[in-house]
Amino acid sequence: MIKWLEKPLQELLQARDRLPHALLLRGPRGIGKQALAEALVAGLLCERPGPDHQACGRCPACVWLAGGNHPDYRLLQPETGAVAGEEGEQGGKAKEGKASAWITVEQVRDLHDFIQVASHRGGRKVIVVSPAESLNLAAANALLKNLEEPPPQTHFILVSHRPQRLLQTILSRCRQLPLSRPGRPDALSWLAAQGVEQPEVALAQASGAPLLAQALAAGDELAGRRECLRLLADSGFDPIQTAELMSDLGIERFAGWLLRWTSDLVEQRLLGRIRFNPDFAQEIAVLARHIDPLSALRLQRRLVLEQRHVQHPLNARLYMESLLLAYQALVNPVRRAA
């Protein structure tokens, strides 16, 4: 178990006989909530738990769970092989195609027999819903009926990155366990143990979420970021040429990098510190000395608002050109005016 989750796991397992029928694990994305839920499920279903109540890993229940076929466990998550239709938020059926963003009402209804029939092993039954905010409206209402009067020894574990999106009626029926980002030393130590290069940079880009930082470091995210930021660090860059170079990296990535870069310029200019790009601290300090704070705040606000559009089918190069022209006006107003 991840170090910063050992204590909450131990407390939950020690109270296993007093656990509520519905538990909500909530907190930022990338801190290990799913891992905690899985460890809790294993401890609850294990037939020979140790003195610390954690799963033994060897009994038939543990073997079945590890193999993904424990008869008393169900996992609800967005379906693969389908995509939510226009009625996704209203409970419409998923269409064949890409992965869905929603947990559908059909998935929840399929739980009916599982919940009502006695457990195969004579113990507990556990249902994990993750992420819970991916329940569409019809699915959420169907789940609510199950949460109201579940049979004994039936546990629902909801995992949520954005609990504010859940129905208040669902929240009221769950005992909530808030989880936060770990301290920076613990996060950096864990990332280093996982073999992550430049853990400080990865953690900063992930806003302090270690598992998200690990995922970023495992792909090409950080390499693409460095390429983009080297161009942004030059106040004399050409927005049109830069947009052409960046267009293959994807709009969502580019807009996120530019937002975090601009946020660091604002913080450096106003507060003398940076948050997201410690490996470019010197370049940010140089640029920040010459920017207008009000103009920087306006660009930052624009970039925040633009986040809602980054997944739309836009012309990537034209979109990037527009943002880069605004950024150039901030860092090099003389050249922009010319």
pLDDT band for position 101 (cuts 50, 70, 90): confident
* Lowest mean pLDDT segment, chosen from 80-89, 172-181, 230-239, 297-306: 80-89
- Greater confidence (167 vs 248) lies with 167
Q: Which residue bears the tokens 């143990």?
A: 193
Tokens of 78: 């967005």
Query: Residue 299 and residue 261: Cα distance in Å, rounded?
Result: 11
- Rounded mean pLDDT of 271-279? 95
34, 130 Cβ separation under 8 angstroms: yes
Q: Spell out the alpha helix ranges (H) of 15-126.
A: 33-45, 60-66, 105-109, 111-116
What class has domain 220-337? mainly alpha
Element containing residue 24 per DSSP (H, E): strand 22-26
Please tell me the predicted confidence (pLDDT) of residue 80: 64
Give the dihedral sign, CA 253/254/255/261. Answer: positive
Q: For residue 33, give the nearest of 102, 123, 117, 128 by alpha carbon.
A: 128
Cis amide prior to 313 (ω within 30 degrees): no
Query: Residue 167 and residue 323: Cα distance in Å, rounded?
Result: 37
pLDDT band for position 334 (cuts 50, 70, 90): very low
- Greater confidence (316 vs 265) lies with 265
- Greater confidence (168 vs 313) lies with 168
Task: Report pLDDT digits (tens) over 115-134.
Answer: 988 888 888 999 999 999 99
294, 328 Cβ separation under 8 angstroms: no
pLDDT band for position 313 (cuts 50, 70, 90): low
Please tell me the predicted confidence (pLDDT) of residue 69: 92
User: Would you call 55 helix, strand, or coil by DSSP?
Assistant: coil
Please tell me the predicted confidence (pLDDT) of residue 231: 92
Check whether 94 has a pLDDT greater than 70: no
Query: Residue 139 and residue 109: Cα distance in Å, rounded?
Result: 8
Q: Where in the sequence of the chain do the CATH 3.40.50.300 domains occur? A: 3-178
Task: Report pLDDT digits (tens) over 52-87.
Answer: 899 999 999 999 999 999 999 999 999 764 333 333
* Lowest mean pLDDT segment, chosen from 48-62, 83-97, 242-256: 83-97
Strand ordering across the sheet containing 22-26: 73-76, 125-129, 154-160, 22-26, 175-178
* Lowest mean pLDDT segment, chosen from 8-17, 38-47, 86-95, 125-134: 86-95
Q: Where in the sequence of the chain do the CATH 1.20.272 domains occur? A: 220-337
Average pLDDT, the chain: 88
Query: Residue 284 and residue 274: Cα distance in Å, rounded?
Result: 8
- Domain 3-178 sits in CATH at 3.40.50.300
Please tell me the predicted confidence (pLDDT) of residue 151: 86
Query: Residue 87 and residue 136: Cα distance in Å, rounded?
Result: 9
Please tell me the predicted confidence (pLDDT) of residue 116: 87
The structure's pTM equals 0.84
Query: Residue 14 and residue 215: Cα distance in Å, rounded?
Result: 32
Strand partners, 128: 75, 157
